[in-house]
Structure 1
Amino acid sequence: MKRLATGFAIVVAASVLFQLPAWSASDSAVKIPAPAMDEQSHGAQLETAIFAGGCFWGVQGVFQHVKGVTNAVSGYAGGKARTANYPTVSMGMTGHAESVSVTYDPQKVSYGQLLQVFFSVAHDPTELNKQGPDYGTQYRSALFPQNQEQEKIAKAYIAQLNAGHYFTAPLATKIEDNAHFYPAEKYHQNFLNDNPNYPYIVINDIPKVQQLKSSFPAFWRADPVLVKG
């Protein structure tokens, strides 16, 4: 477990965290090509994509710095509404994965480009039911396509990356059908932005944002788009 939460309070054993290996984006980021298949233009209408890649703090923080993203909300996907809360999901038996719902302008960034960021810097897609120091099915690598086009693109890109052997192991990312998303508690939103010196964030997530800036300068936005309210 990365941290324990009771109501609004979050407790982390910082001394223990600092003794863990530094699972950072600089260790796991892999230079990968853009997807050979990408979505067709649908005009000016905003679209939504749901990503699960370990702790939602870091995944949200990365996508908040991507040009064309208009919102990135931490939450839960893969389970039932009644279990979509942090204490229950943390038990690892709900079917939920910590996820991020990304709203984006396809005129500025495509679903395929978001996938490229997701697989390259937002997490390590070769890890099964874990991500860095966090273990459990709630930290699995998964995609929840919102339509048939996203599903087709995601499947093709996973096949492309596996065929190209860009990673040291096959991708563990699963494409799942239960795409209903439930926003997480308020204290989880904008966590990376609001707590840049938090030990877990410093070790595991700030490097991901730095890697986004260096690896994808064309996608980079310095001012993150934050969840309001």
Structure 2
Amino acid sequence: MRIKSLFLAAALGGAALSLPATALADEVFNAPVATRHSRERGMQTAIFAGGCFWGIEGVFSHVRGVSSAVSGYHGGRAADATYERVSAGGTGHAEAVRVTYDPTQVRYDQLLQILFSVGADPTLLNRQGPDRGTQYRAAIVPTTAEQRAVAASYVRQMGTSGVWQRPIVVRVESYERFFPAEAYHQDFMLNNPNHGYIRRWDAPKVQALRTQFPSLWRERFRTG
């Protein structure tokens, strides 16, 4: 049985799982400094994948300028856009988060910097933390030509930065259709702060965001 599914079954069943809430330490990477000025106007939407969507949603919900962060599935068919099917692998979907943001408060390249500084390791192929499979791949899904240009430039920048000892394998994927996940996945960190998976893998990411990006930190909102 998949590790995350074991944690989820325990959470929904009320079982107590206790794992140490350790800092990410070597799992936190300092992405290159974002330098591009945004030409975006009005509220924008971006999609990011970086392992379990609980943590990615939790991180972006604390970013100033983000008005919505929705967990869901991207890359596969509508018929397969369920947690049971996606977590089994082979659907083409990635667990992803759709982020709505105000570019006058936070730029797209800053969102990328946050993703790869505290959210996901861009050198891991089809895995993050304890989760394995293509559904946990790290991916950037631009929704505009501006975002695609910034994403391609940023991935190149990561590859030449010298920050990571291994090759960058994160993908820039074409936008298809985003399917919101089931209701119990939304605001999962907010609603389950003592859940074992959250304490071990995701809460330290949020703390790292607060430490590394104080100018972009804000207390979170409830998306549901």
TM norm structure 2 = 0.91
Contact 1:145–1:179 under 8 Å retained in 2: no
Secondary structure of the corresponding residue to residue 84 of structure 2: helix
> C-alpha distance in 1, partners of 2:58/2:87?
20
Match of 1:172 in 2: 169
Mapped pair 1:68 → 2:65: yes
Match of 1:27 in 2: 26
Match of 1:3 in 2: 5
- Give unpaired runs (5+ residues) of structure 1: none
Per-residue displacement from partner, 1:57-87 (whole Å, max 9, x unpaired)? 0000000000000000000001111111100
Aligned CA RMSD, in angstroms, stands at 2.1
AA matched with 2:168 = L
> C-alpha distance in 2, partners of 1:10/1:119?
33
Secondary structure of the corresponding residue to residue 116 of structure 1: helix
Per-residue displacement from partner, 1:7-58 (whole Å, max 9, x unpaired)? x94688947xx49xx885333112233233343142xx21000000000000
Identify if the C-alpha distance between structure 1 residues 72 and 3 changes in structure 2 by more than 3 Å, giving closer, same or farther: same
Identity of aligned residues (%): 47
Match of 1:225 in 2: 221
Contact 1:72–1:226 under 8 Å retained in 2: no
Per-residue displacement from partner, 1:100-131 (whole Å, max 9, x unpaired)? 00000111111011001001001111111000
Please identify which structure carries the higher helix content: 2
Contact 2:143–2:175 under 8 Å retained in 1: no
- Runs of 4+ in structure 1 over 6 Å off: none
AA matched with 1:32 = A
TM norm structure 1 = 0.89
- Give unpaired runs (5+ residues) of structure 2: none
**Cα drift, residue 148 of structure 1:** 1.3
What is the aligned length? 220
**Cα drift, residue 165 of structure 1:** 1.4
Contact 1:58–1:208 under 8 Å retained in 2: yes
> C-alpha distance in 1, partners of 2:82/2:14?
17
Per-residue displacement from partner, 1:168-210 (whole Å, max 9, x unpaired)? 2122110111331100000000001111110000000000000
Match of 2:180 in 1: 183
